[in-house]
Amino acid sequence: MHSSELEVFVQALEWLKQEQYAVLVTVVKTWGATPRTVGAILAVRGDGSIVGFVSSGCIEEDLAGKVQARFFTGPTIIKYGITSEQNQQVGLSCGGQIELLVEPLTQLEQIQPAVVALEQRQIIQRQVDLNSGQVDWSDGATATIDFYYDSRQFCYRYGPIWRLLIIGAGQIARYVAEFALALNYQVIICDPRQEYANHWSVKAAQLDYRMPDDAVKALIQDERSAVITLTHNPNLDDLALWEALPSPAFYVGALGSKATNDGRRQRLLELGITETTLQRLHAPIGFPIGSHSPPEIAIAILAELTAVRNHVYHRNFISGGTESSLRE
């Protein structure tokens, strides 16, 4: 599975290698309600074929028509949703405005570094000179800003697909995996217990039979990763958390009641996890939405995961924990 950005870059690179006319389209600015945020990309081939999206489908058809007409000969800024007449013609019904950078693709170097970096789970920054069209790539891990845009240049950091490591192949894990796959996570299920792994049914999720601490050490190496423990077995969950909490993972969570997690926190302190590091643990896991069934619990977990990923999580406002996990 690829991230949506990598999927676009891979296809655009293939078109370039085939010497087909194509353009890369990037969202550089938005106002009001828009379906995509800054940095969203799509590629359009000369015959109108599209991979990726920059709206909910409102403006892709218009862009495809312009590409087929060879409208773009150099870096071009194009705006949608600026006038009511344009909204009616293009169908941008959300009421917002969007500004796009359109770049004709002529050299492999415009795309190839992104494919190499993202396939190796590296962060990379792309900088475009809006006058000349020159594209420069640099190590995104050392960049101090996520994006920058003015009349002369556009910069943006791209990262690898979001990875979710789930400890335990039980019923709740099944629904968490299915929902996470729909949110474009790479999902890995770790469970050394053969009786659980043998009955795992979500084929798109990768199975890992290692002990949880070994799996975390091998797989959680960057900030676009998350770990959740769902086994209720301290011999498995604690091992994973002991490795995950000091890791770069953006989210670490554990299923269980408040009492269960109080005991877990004490054990982790005794294993050498510091109080400061332990504050990273989301436990009880999930938003309190009145969930009881495994699918509802999975929704609560993914809701919290999404809030943290999108930087809108406020621990003081949300008292974490599904209704079910509060009683377990």
For 176, the token pair is 């968490």
State how far the alpha carbon of 14 is from the alpha carbons of 5, 11, 118, in Å.
14, 5, 16
Domain boundaries, the chain: 4-158, 163-327
pTM of full prediction above 0.85: no
Helical segments of the chain, H only = 4-17, 60-68, 84-90, 112-119, 171-182, 194-197, 212-219, 234-244, 258-270, 275-278, 294-309, 323-327
Tell me the CATH number for domain 163-327.
3.40.50.720
What per-residue confidence (pLDDT) applies to 313?
75
Rounded distance between C-alpha atoms, residue 296 and residue 178, angstroms: 13
Per-residue tens of pLDDT for the chain, all 328 residues: 567 899 999 999 999 999 999 999 999 999 887 778 899 999 999 999 999 988 877 799 999 999 999 999 999 999 998 655 555 555 555 568 899 999 999 999 999 999 999 999 999 999 999 999 999 999 988 888 889 999 999 999 999 999 999 999 999 999 999 999 999 899 999 999 999 888 898 989 999 999 999 999 999 999 999 999 999 899 999 999 999 999 999 999 999 988 999 999 999 999 999 999 999 999 999 999 998 899 999 999 999 999 999 888 765 545 445 544 433 4
Q: Can you give the pLDDT at residue 127?
A: 95
- Let me know: does 114 contact 135? Beta carbons within 8 Å: no
**What pLDDT score was predicted for residue 88?**
53
Quote the radius of gyration of the chain (alpha carbons, Å). Answer: 22
Which residues does residue 26 pair with via DSSP β-bridges, in sequence order? 41, 101
Q: How far apart are CA 153 and CA 149, in angstroms?
A: 6
Residue 186 bridge partners (DSSP): 163
Least Cα distance to 43 among 115, 94, 141 occurs for: 115
- Which among 261, 251, 235 is positioned nearest to 301, based on CA atoms? 251
What's residue 276's pLDDT? Answer: 96
Q: Which residues contact 195 (CB under 8 A, 6 or more apart)?
A: none
CA-CA-CA-CA dihedral for 88, 93, 94, 99, to nearest 10? -40
Supply 149's token pair: 């845009």
